[in-house]
Structure 1
């Protein structure tokens, strides 16, 4: 694949993580809401896959 791991973190990694930490500190429900939205997305995709299998049968 040609992917070479970098041993030194990129400078923007720290700011990226800091931005998420700020969101999580300011909104205690954020992670639960994000997980619920992710679950709805998975259920939607699962339903699409089930419909596709039914149509193929």
Structure 2
């Protein structure tokens, strides 16, 4: 039965993991984000009270 021969499946598994672990991470990490967060935006703003016009 050919599906019991592990040689072709092992090579496919090995080369696919090689691509995932060696080739793709540098490509993903090379991307830069155009909108870097600035420290002014991290400050919590004070909530404004809402005056209800009816009561």
Which TM bucket (shorter chain)? 0.3 to 0.5
Structure 1 or 2: larger helix share?
1
Pair member with larger Rg: 2
Tell me the TM-score normalised to structure 1 length: 0.42
Tell me the TM-score normalised to structure 2 length: 0.43
Q: Which has the higher contact order (CA 8 A, sep 6+)?
A: 1
